[in-house]
Chains A and B, each alone.
Chain A
Amino acid sequence: MLDVRGIAKRFGDVVALDGVNLSVDRGGIIGFLGPNGAGKSTTMRAIMGLIAIDRGTITWDGAPITADVRRRFGYMPAERGMYPKMTVRDQLIYFARLAGLSARDAASSADVWMDRVDISSRSGDEVQALSSGNQQRVQLAIALVHDPELLILDEPFSGLDPVAVETMKTILLEQIERGTSVLFSSHQLDLVSDISRNVVIIDAGRVVLEGDVRDIRERAEFRYAAIGFAENTSWQPEYPGVQIIERHPRSLRLRVPDSQDPTAVLADANAAGRVVEFSFAPPDLSEVFLASINRRSPERDAERDPDSSTDRAAVG
């Protein structure tokens, strides 16, 4: 099990991590979310030993992570990292050998993974000749070629076409089934909830939300109600805390505090005109995400993590 406890890191005056906790069970998967500069990459780099943390502990199965332990991890950095002039196959074999595989095992594992990520036809090409999507397939194969116990994937989905996204998803789910632990970051929140029920959301170096996606949504302090009328309406809900998010001639979308009884709202609307449609649901993940971040947004700009400048993709 990966256990990250209270890690903190400053870069000069900038607080990058401010007591981050998270853990990934054996065979568990955690989606790691947060806006640009929240500290996702910094956390992952700390786990990979690429930066020294100021405070806190990082352990694997209860023991500190030594170079030998780390060799059993697979890492995919946000900035892709490969030798541009090395062929795809040589590259995979090299990393497999560095992770401790014999020459023969490394070669066969390289062939298996080239096939899995669908890059076999380019096996003899230099990496620099590949498109960025294909380079990313190779990068994933590098992270997996030595059959790691823990996968640390920084933005594995960014820049992938829908076909590649499906391949990536399938591979991750397979890995979890085999007992590999996975920590991955993403901006594509719908994707995250497709793959992982467990998420950790950080902002400004602190964990702001964590747990099962469904629980998080249910724990949200508001719900959305959508009401459709048979005819044009001027109905105005009059409950404390209820806001109109969208208004159309015959429909409204409302933000309702979770303390509010929805049936009362429905009854009130029905009294104003015939209701033909009614839905009541917790916010989806991206809405929770935005809400949790907005709460802290004034601080965020001040505490930007310079080390995660690569988290460029748009939020949501």
Chain B
Amino acid sequence: MNSFSMIKLVMAREIRQRMRSKGFAVTTVLLCVAILGMGVLNRVLSGDDSPTTYDIAVIGEMPAGFDDATQQAAQALDVVIKFENVGTRADAEQLVRDGDLDVAVDASTGELISESDPSDQLTAAMNAAWQSSSSLRAAEDAGLDPGQISTILSPAALRPAVLDGGKDSDDGLAMGVGFATAVLLFISINAFGGLVLTGVVEEKSTGVIEVLLGHVRAHQLLAGKVFGIGVVAMAQLSAAILTGLIALKVSGTSVPSGIWVGLPSTLLWFVCGFVLYSTLFALAGSFVSRQEDAQGAAAPISMVFTAAYLTVFVLGNAPYAPATRIVSVLPPFAPLLMPLRISIGAASGVEIVVAAVGLLAATFGMLRLAGAVYGRTLLHRGSRLHWKEALRMRSARSG
């Protein structure tokens, strides 16, 4: 049987066993519910999208064009203004007090009547309408004809000239998504890398490794375990990302277009990051014979990984800084930092390529290194091996 089919068999077992575990189902569902929940919450908190409606009344004779000007101002400010018919100022004041009217305008005194301070939007709309209709009356009084009046009062609006090629200015949201992605990748690599670690130690502590190695070469076992658990991790992460995209839709926020592509491409960074770190976790697992020693052996890797994670928060806020550019292409950091920089559009094509090539090379090198010593460290019994001793070991088995 060739090496690939052996790896496939080992992978299949990992996938089947992990997918069937209750823990996997529960965490996946919880993760998706949490992500969807954030989207729904955001929607609820930001209210519905229909514009605010104000009820107003006018007392006395308004300048001609006031109604039109009011509606124009309302449109510009994205609100709806409805006129109510009211007889006297006393009636209007009563209705304002009762809350049936938001404001009333007294044409004779030029007052805006409200119970407390009216909203800025409404004040702005009423002022704009009042001033433009007053100007119209003044212009008519001055004897201008309607054409001149229109030229004076309705100059052409400013045309937009965006310098940055129409780039989304919504960096805040992209940054948020970027950070959320980094958190998700960190949790995922930690959780599933942890499964690789305990999986390797389980094989050693139960002695099943002795039977396995009669059939499978150590490096095939390593590859099958890392890739198999990787597939399970990918399944969960894909579900989370898909839910995230749905949550963004549901939340009703306008989403920078880059995210629809950037978020799924996160999976590629995840794959490399996961393989890199879990190969190290698997190696660490092969140094010990008891489950209770596993965390100790993996501590150096966890520390490096956590440091990389914290760096995301230190450097993520300055995505264009030189330090960020350099650190983000280094293999231990790239899986967490690059997706963030890509999602806010801060990473240049060259940086992405350099980071990807570097990460792939590091991952490949790690697999080779682990494959070379794993056969020996797996069969080590008793006290915990140290990295130096382990790396000095050559593979025990030929054939």
Partner-B contacts on A (CB < 8 A): 45, 48-52, 64-71, 73-77, 79-86, 90, 94-95, 97-100, 142-143, 307
Contact = CB atoms under 8 A, between A and B. Distances in A.
B223 to A, nearest CB: 14
B214 A45 contact: no
B215 A98 contact: yes
Contacts of A98: 6, 9, 212, 215-216
Contacts of B209: 81
Nearest to B379: A50
A81 B206 CA distance: 5
A67 B211 contact: no
B183 to A, nearest CB: 30
Q: Which of A45, A49, A69, A99 has the most B CB atoms < 10 Å from its CB?
A: A49
Given A77-B211, A98-B215, A99-B215, 12 more contacts: A48-B213, A48-B214, A49-B213, A49-B214, A66-B398, A74-B214, A77-B207, A79-B210, A81-B210, A82-B211, A85-B17, A94-B9
Contact of B206 (A48, A73, A82): A82
Nearest to A73: B214
B214 A71 contact: yes
Contacts, number: 80
A67 B217 contact: yes
Contacts of A83: 17, 202-203, 206, 208
A104 B212 CA distance: 21
B396 interface: yes
Nearest to B209: A81
Given A66-B399, A85-B17, A98-B216, A77 B210 contact: yes
B174 to A, nearest CB: 42
B13 interface: yes
A67 B397 contact: yes
27 contacts: A45-B210, A48-B210, A48-B213, A48-B214, A49-B213, A50-B210, A50-B213, A64-B399, A66-B398, A67-B399, A68-B399, A77-B210, A77-B211, A81-B206, A81-B208, A81-B209, A81-B210, A81-B211, A81-B212, A82-B208, A86-B17, A90-B16, A94-B9, A98-B216, A142-B211, A143-B211, A307-B381
B1 interface: yes
B124 to A, nearest CB: 67
Nearest to A97: B9
Interface of B: 1, 6, 9, 13, 16-17, 202-203, 206-217, 379, 381, 396-399
Given A49-B213, A67-B217, A100 B379 contact: no
B206 A84 contact: yes
B396 A70 contact: no
Nearest to B217: A67
Contacts of A45: 210
Contacts of A86: 13, 17
Contacts of B210: 45, 48, 50, 75, 77, 79, 81
Nearest to A86: B17
Contacts of B379: 50-51
Contacts of B6: 98
B9 A75 contact: no
A95 B215 contact: yes
Q: Which of A66, A77, A83 has the most B CB atoms < 10 Å from its CB?
A: A83
Contacts of A73: 214
A247 B130 CA distance: 133
A117 to B, nearest CB: 16
Nearest to A66: B399
Nearest to B6: A98
Contacts of A52: 396-397
Contacts of B399: 49, 64-70
Contacts of B216: 98
A87 B108 CA distance: 90
Q: Which of A76, A83, A95, A98 has the most B CB atoms < 10 Å from its CB?
A: A98
Nearest to A68: B399
A65 B207 CA distance: 22
Contact of B396 (A51, A66, A85): A51
A310 B295 CA distance: 27
B77 to A, nearest CB: 63
Nearest to A146: B215
A69 B399 CA distance: 9
A66 to B, nearest CB: 4
Nearest to B9: A97
Nearest to B203: A83
A158 to B, nearest CB: 14
Contacts of B208: 81-83
Contacts of A97: 9
